[in-house]
Amino acid sequence: MTTKSGPEIIAGWPEESREAASLVIKEYGEPHERTESLLIWEGVGPFKRVIASRAFYQHDFPVPHTDSVESVVDYRVPIEKFGPLAEFDGSVVVERTAGEASARCHDVQANSLALNLTHDIVSGAKSVDEARNYYAKEFLDYRRNKPTPYMDELTISSSNGGTADPDHRVLSQEDLDAAVKEGKAGR
């Protein structure tokens, strides 16, 4: 952790990530945690966490841009929906064990769009193709100064915890003890 302010830290970042991080600072103020490569806000807006990173990634959907701002929500995704979400947008990440879903893009508004469409796919309201087409439409509508409901408000059903999936145990204590005993005998 550093004592530098968010703007002081991002002054040395590449333009792609610096500009995106400055939008988050403008929206939410000083981050709660700061390192030379990450700025982290906890519990801001509708999000569990927002992370702006020095690192950025080229992303060509729906048009070429860079991703460096990640927005995280508590959200449980059924295992069978992981594949469709990966087809929808490679910048949507689901962490089963943590019970979190996140989207990484250039700003929190685009992340809201992706997370709302994530919920539509999980709930069956939209197919992958319908979600991709809607994303592109709303992306253009923003530039047309038309309504952008999925960008303007996070409607995903986010809870405050209770979404984690710790999986289930497959090895008994007896299995572990036997393996340790076998390992010691083999020395």
What letter represents residue 169's amino acid?
Answer: R
Would you write out the chain's pLDDT as a tens digit for each of its 187 residues? 678 999 999 999 999 999 999 999 999 999 999 999 999 999 999 999 999 999 999 999 999 999 999 999 999 999 999 999 999 999 999 999 999 999 999 999 999 999 999 999 999 999 999 999 999 999 999 999 999 999 999 988 666 678 999 999 999 999 999 999 999 997 7
Q: DSSP assignment, residue 30? A: S
The pLDDT of residue 60 is 97
List Cα–Cα distances, 105 to 58, 65, 71, 179, 183, in angstroms.
10, 8, 9, 46, 48
Distance of CA 102 to the CA centre of its chain: 2
Domain boundaries, the chain: 6-170
Sequence-separated (6 or more) residues with CB below 8 Å from residue 21: 6, 10, 13, 39, 52, 68, 69
Quick check: 50 and 41 in contact, CB under 8 A? yes
List Cα–Cα distances, 153 to 105, 116, 129, 159, in angstroms.
16, 9, 22, 16
Q: DSSP assignment, residue 115? A: H
The pLDDT of residue 159 is 65
Separation between Cα atoms, residue 107 and residue 103, nearest integer Å: 10
Rounded to the nearest 10°, the torsion over CA 3, 6, 8, 12 is 120
The pLDDT of residue 162 is 87
Closest among 74, 126, 67, 127 to 101, alpha carbons compared: 74
